[in-house]
Structure 1
Amino acid sequence: MLVIGLKGFACNANPLFKGEAILKILVVSDIHYPDRRADIPDLSSFIEKSDLIFATGDFTCAEVLDYLKSFKKQVVAVHGNADDPFLKTTLPENLTVEVKNVKIGLYHGSGTPIRIASRVKNIFDCQLDAYIFGHTHIPLNKLINGKLFFNPGTISGFRSSLGMLYIDSGNIRGEIIRLSSHIMGV
């Protein structure tokens, strides 16, 4: 199931998942297939361990999104600046979701890495618990004033990485997972 938000931003978060167990969310960004990768990376072992997938854009083509959806997990996705016109018209630029009482904003990002956290926060017109983004290809897992700012990095470079978010009892924490280049085919 693909969750698509509104084309403009609304602060009405879509509620996803309720219950007591720790929820695991795979976060991917900046795959850049086929522009910077010869293949779509095999993410099956990470997807199978997660309950939900967040994707923050720069798939480049819809084939990557189709691959993520093929695992029958909910996919929450926004488009990036390098995505093809189909993805830019199908996916929103930003959206919010609520997962187990945690309000989360997703946005690809823009501009330089300098002050990107404040730019990402300013995209949203309400207070969120976590801001998930990509664009810079630089992993970030940082609490700023009690809010999580999380960028999983890129899967298309020498220092490939992705992220996992863990939500439990209204709290969210992130983990950056570095990937070896021979596994990722780069």
Structure 2
Amino acid sequence: MRLLIMSDTHLPRRAKQLPVPLLAELPHADVVFHAGDWVDTATLDLLESRSRRLIAVHGNNDGPELRARLPEVARAELDGLRFGVVHDTGPARGREARCAARFPDLDVLVFGHSHIPWDTTAPTGLRLLNPGSPTDRRRQPHRTYLTATLADGALTDVTLHRLPQR
């Protein structure tokens, strides 16, 4: 199973559309995750129409229409792994312990908000993944997103994709 993981698209504030390389990944993804801060409903509509399965949440920059359509926390079991998605996990310091305590029933937590790519594992085994942002790198060297493979209950080939400078 191929996973496509993104967050903090902030359209149309930070870019006019999703980057072409990211859009090219959609037909290959069995599941698309979006960890919030869409800003516009058009991007949600696009991903809903072009994704086989979308697991998504709203973020702090998302208005009432997006909040009405998306939860604050989403959960799904895929191939025996328990996934969760949330926008903000708080400061980097203490993140693993804080998330492991808040989400003891998960194997993988996808989050966003910081625009900083993150891939760590808490002592409890909870894997934390932040794809960064494909449209707004802020102080990061690149705009980014993640892909991964899920097979036989194992998450493998977690790859951070760096998008070319605009």
Question: Under TM normalisation by the shorter chain, which class is it?
Answer: 0.7 to 0.9
Q: Which amino acid aligns with 2:50?
A: F
Distance 2:152 2:9 in 1: 31
Identity of aligned residues (%): 30
Give ranges in structure 2 of 5+ residues lacking alignment. Answer: none
Q: Residue 44 of structure 1: CA displacement?
A: 2.5
- 1:26-175 alignment to 2 at 5 Å? 26-42=4-20, 43-124=22-103, 126-145=104-123, 146-158=125-137, 159-173=142-156, 174-175=158-159
Alpha-carbon displacement from aligned partner over 1:36-80 (angstroms, at most 9, x marks no partner): 223333332111221110111001111111111221421111111
For 1:41, the aligned partner's letter is P
Moved more, 61-70 or 91-100: 61-70
Structure 1 residues 33 and 118, CA gap change in structure 2 (3 angstroms):
farther
Number of residue pairs matched by the alignment? 159
Residues of 1 paired with 2:121 and 2:93: CA distance? 17
Q: CA deviation at 1:167?
A: 1.0
**Runs of at least 4 residues off by over 2 Å:** 38-44, 110-124, 143-147
RMSD: 1.7
1:134-174, Cα deviation, whole Å (9 max, x unpaired): 11100012222232110000112242000112111111132
In the superposition, the TM-score normalised over structure 2's length comes to 0.86
8 A contact 2:6–2:35 mirrored in 1 = yes
